[in-house]
Structure formats: structure tokens, C-alpha cells
Amino acid sequence: MKVRVRFAPSPTGGLHLGGVRTVLYNYLFARAHGGDFVLRIEDTDQSRYVPGAEQYIIDCLEWCGLSPDESPVKGGPHVPYRQSERKALYHQYAQQLIAQGNAYYAFDTPEDLEQMRLQYRKDEHTPAQYDHNTRMKMRNSLSLPAHEVKALLDSGTPYVVRIQMPENVTVHLNDLICGEMTFESGLSDDKVLLKADGMPTYHLAVVVDDYLMGITHAFRGQEWLPSAPVHVLLWQYLGWAQNMPRWAHLPLILKPDGNGKLSKRDGDRLGFPVFAMNWTDPKTNELTTGFREIGFIPQAFVNMLAMLGWNDGTGQELFSMDELISKFSIERVHKGGAKFDFEKAKWFNHQYIQHTDATTLAAMAKPFVEKELGHAADEHMLAAVVPVIKDRCTLLTDFWAQGHFFFRTPELVEKAAITDKWNDQKQQFFTVWSAALATLATWTEAGIEASFNEAVAQHGIKKGDVMLPFRIMLVGGKYGPGVFAIAALIGKDETIKRIGAIIG
């Protein structure tokens, strides 16, 4: 049997890193088993639909290098891959469930439901749910006489279809990560399967589509565990138990302090991204920053995510995609939640920056440099600069922060550190030395340094007294790689010009 897995997001907003990790585990599993990876858009809840979110998800997968084999864009043998376009398909299964006595029509209005929740609540904090305790007190095809039900249906009264959860059944689920689990059916409410607008809910659609699309393994976050018994029962009621996928409920990604699920708000509060890429909410225009835009390399982002809940047992942390494919196993995914650590995430990126070849790295850094520069960056300069400063760079945005002075004359932010201790001797030194630089035959790091040392000896000045001013002249501040390497790269004219800005 060919392995088929799916990522089934609802297009409701930005893609959380937990979602990308689900994609990754699906992708690795599919590649390792020569299987297919399907992207299915679960957009049946029209009230939560957000325009642009589907395209955003597709773009995120592409940026991460985790493109699906079948999708709404790519097509495939099970088109359409958007549930809203499959609307007509679900009705027959709802009808089958009603005919078998596993589901029923419910005609309750929102007011009826609200009243039930209050009237039958257990205590102040626990509203009642629509279940075996309350269903016979409501307006549905179980509680009303058959002729009344028929009359309601004939007159076009709006209805939903609900699953009839059995009162006393122990539902078993053998999860690939969580192991053998049992659920008491009576604790679940009678979930809506088909809504008044004729759309299925997630619960019906996910089961029907996993079946029709031949899904063999279903990986999703542990937040879906409470729905699992409903889904298992639907697989049985629809007569498909033999085909039910193996489930793997993935551990949650937790806040850095381990106290609950990591949310977008935690990221805002603690100053790190939670979404893969920038997301602008079309309703509020609010922009949420992504890992891509703050300068993560996609391979580093993916490697970091792989380790959030899994390891190969050897202590290895850096894995190429091919290694991940060969070493990843769903059984080794931890049951417990994985704490997100932004410093560790940055460590991965720093490692990737150090290990990426200069040409690839220059191409990755280019858009970040050019965004700040406001125009195209000199390709030769970029290629020369990247290896010189990469050990100082953790994020791709750092190539600007650590290297802007290679591309344009810097603002002298720390000018005071020069001028406060300026004296005639220094004025004399730089005047004579810059004239000497103008006559240097070959412009190399070693040549500039030799000329500097010679001038220092000539003037009987301490090297340290003129080295720092020279750095600030070139860089604008007290940082950067070797100062003679900087001078060599920016060139003779520019070096003399920057000295001139101080000596006048």
C-alpha cells in the first residue's frame, strides 16, 4: 500500500510554526516511504475564511522547500483539493449516517441552544452540551414525532445534522506517538456534521476526504485529540474502519517557559516571530512578522523545527534534508510538548550561515542588503564581503548591520570617540599617512597594514591611539572585521575620502 499523507490547514490566517512542523513531519514521512504528500484546504467554515490565507500557506510551503505532490494548485488524482468545492459530495454520507441511526436532524435555533446550555448546566462554570443528557429535550428527529420531522423538512426549516454519540462506548485509538488511548463516547457532544448552509463541518469532511483520498497516515497537532473519538466512530459508521489511517498526534509547541501552547501573542510579547512568513491580516491590516523576513534561512528554519519534538538519539542537531528524510521516524517523536527557544532557533541559523557556501550565502543576503541600501548592491562587493563578516551574522539581516559601511559611506555614529581625544599628533599622522596611501602601488590588506605600521613608527605614535580612530572613520562605530581588510575592500579613494572627512 502506497503511503499517502496530508496537511489539511484551514485558511484562517498566518501559518504558525507548529503548522510548518506538521507539514515537515508529513513531508519527511512521505519522502522516506516513497509516498505522496497532499495539501488539502479545509475551508468549509466560511465564517473563519480569510482571503489570501490559502496562497500564503502555499507560499510558505514553497519557501520551506516542502512542496506537496498534490494540491489545489498542482491538482492530482483527487481533485478538487479545496473542501468548499467538494460540498455536494458530503451529503450522501450524512444521509447514510442518518439512515443508519448514527446521525439525526436538529432544528434548534441559536436561542434554543443558548437556553439549553444555561438551563441544564452542571454548575456555574460548566454549560451543558448537546449530548445524550440533553438531546431528547431539544428539537430534533430523535425527540420529535416522525410526521413533525417530515413537515419541518418539507417546509424547508433550517436544520443541521448531528452525530449521535453513543452513551457508553469505549473508543480505542492506537496512536503512533501517544500509544494506546481510550475515550468514553458519552463525554463527547453530538458534533454537527452538516451545517444549515449545507456545508459539512470539519469533522465530517476530514473523515470523508481522508477516505476518498486514500490517506494512510494522518499527522496533526495534539489539540485535535479530543475530536479523535468522533472521527474514529465516523470511520466505523461509514463502514471504512479497515481503511482508517494510522494517527499520529504531534506534541504541542510550548511557550519558552513551558507554560501552555505558544501563541502569536507570546511572540509579540517576547519579541520573536511565530509565523513562517510575514502575514498581513486583510481585515485589520495588522502585520505579523515572519521568520523569513527577520532573516532565517529556510533550511535552518526547517532543521530547527525538525528538532522541536524529535531527535535521532545521538545528540546530532544539524541535519540536511536528505539526512532528515533517512533518519526521521514518527515513532521517535516525543509525547510531551516541546518548548520553543528563540535563542536556540537563532543558533541554527548562525550555524547554517557558517556552513553555507559563499556564493549561495551572498545570494541569500542580497535582498536584505538591498532593502536597506535602496538600490542594487555591487555584486563583487557582496561576494567579497559575505565571507569576511559571516561569523558575525546570526540572521540574514545582520549582513546589513555588520556590513553596511562596505556599501555606502557610514554615518559617524561614534565620531565623539575620535574627536574627544583628537590632538595635533593624530592630525599630523593621518594627514601624512593618507598622502602616503594615495601613492601605494598595490592596494591590498597586507600593503595597507605595512604602510600603517611604517607611519606609526615614523611618527612615534602608539598604534592603539590611531587604530580605533581609523576604524571609526571607516565603519562609523567600534565594530566590524579587521580594519585593513575593510580598507582593502572599499578601495583607495573611498578610504582616503573617509579619513578626509575627519582631518578636513
**Least distance CB 205 / ligand GLU (angstroms):** 9
Site string for ligand GLU, 29-68 (x = CB under 6 A): -------------x--------------------------
DSSP 364-392: HHHHHHHHHHSSPPPHHHHHHHHHHHGGG
177 to 101, 224, 442: CA distances (angstroms) = 33, 14, 65
**Least distance CB 164 / ligand GLU (angstroms):** 22
Residue nearest to ligand GLU (CB): 220
Characterize the bridge pairing of strands 338-339 and 253-254: parallel
- Residue linked to cell 497516515: 217
Phi, psi dihedral angles at 382 (to 5 degrees):
-60, -45
Toward ligand GLU, which CB reaches closer, 135 or 203?
A: 203
Toward ligand GLU, which CB reaches closer, 10 or 141?
A: 10
Toward ligand GLU, which CB reaches closer, 144 or 262?
A: 262
Site string for ligand GLU, 159-198 (x = CB under 6 A): ----------------------------------------
Task: Find the part of the chain contacting ligand GLU (CB under 6 A) among 4-12, 25-33, 312-320, 496-504.
Answer: 4-12
Q: Which of 368, 372, 380 is nearest to 491 (CA)?
A: 380
**Mind telling me the catalytic residues?**
264
Toward ligand GLU, which CB reaches closer, 43 or 398?
A: 43
In the DSSP assignment, the letter for residue 33 is T
Toward ligand GLU, which CB reaches closer, 206 or 466?
A: 206
Toward ligand GLU, which CB reaches closer, 202 or 279?
A: 202
Report the amino acid identity of residue 191. Answer: K
Tell me the HSE value of 491 on the side-chain side, using a 13 A CA sphere: 9
Dihedral sign, Cα of residue 13, residue 19, residue 20, residue 23: negative
Task: Find the part of the chain contacting ligand GLU (CB under 6 A) among 3-11, 72-80, 158-166, 438-446.
Answer: 3-11
Characterize the bridge pairing of strands 4-7 and 36-39: parallel
Q: Residue 209: how many CB atoms within 10 A of its CB?
A: 22
**Least distance CB 78 / ligand GLU (angstroms):** 16
Toward ligand GLU, which CB reaches closer, 10 or 71?
A: 10
**Least distance CB 220 / ligand GLU (angstroms):** 3
Toward ligand GLU, which CB reaches closer, 38 or 485?
A: 38
**Least distance CB 187 / ligand GLU (angstroms):** 20
Q: Which of 3, 4, 5, 8 binds ligand GLU (CB under 6 A)?
A: 8
Q: Residue 417 burial by CB count (10 A; 0-12/13-18/19+): exposed, middle or buried?
A: middle
Cell numbers standing for residue 310 = 524529535
**Least distance CB 219 / ligand GLU (angstroms):** 7
Q: Which of 220, 346, 350, 471 binds ligand GLU (CB under 6 A)?
A: 220
Torsion (CA) 491, 496, 502, 504 in degrees, nearest 10: -150
**Least distance CB 245 / ligand GLU (angstroms):** 10
Query: What angle do the packed helices 53-64 and 17-32 form, to 10 degrees?
Result: 50
Contacts of 367 (CB under 8 A, 6+ apart): none
Q: Which of 130, 202, 328, 340 binds ligand GLU (CB under 6 A)?
A: 202
Q: Which of 4, 5, 9, 345 binds ligand GLU (CB under 6 A)?
A: 9
Toward ligand GLU, which CB reaches closer, 228 or 388?
A: 228
Q: Residue 318 burial by CB count (10 A; 0-12/13-18/19+): exposed, middle or buried?
A: middle
229 binds ligand GLU (CB under 6 A): no
Phi-psi region of 348 (alpha: psi -120 to 50; beta: other; left: phi over 0): alpha
Residues belonging to the chain:
504
Paired strand residues for 39? 7
Toward ligand GLU, which CB reaches closer, 209 or 398?
A: 209
129 binds ligand GLU (CB under 6 A): no
DSSP 306-334: HTSS---SS------HHHHHHH--GGGS-
**Least distance CB 283 / ligand GLU (angstroms):** 19
400: part of which helix (H) or strand (E)?
Answer: helix 398-401
**Least distance CB 224 / ligand GLU (angstroms):** 5
Buried residues in 462-501 as b, exposed as e (16+ CB within 10 A)? eeeebebbbbbbbbbbeebbebbbbbbbbeeebbeebbee
Task: Find the part of the chain contacting ligand GLU (CB under 6 A) among 6-14, 59-67, 139-147, 279-287.
Answer: 6-14
Task: Find the part of the chain contacting ligand GLU (CB under 6 A) among 7-15, 174-182, 185-193, 357-365.
Answer: 7-15
**Least distance CB 320 / ligand GLU (angstroms):** 27
Task: Find the part of the chain contacting ligand GLU (CB under 6 A) among 5-13, 395-403, 408-416, 490-498.
Answer: 5-13
How many residues bind ligand GLU, per CB under 6 A?
8
In the DSSP assignment, the letter for residue 290 is B
10 binds ligand GLU (CB under 6 A): yes
Residues at the contact surface with ligand GLU, assessed by CB under 6 A: 8-10, 42, 202, 206, 220, 224
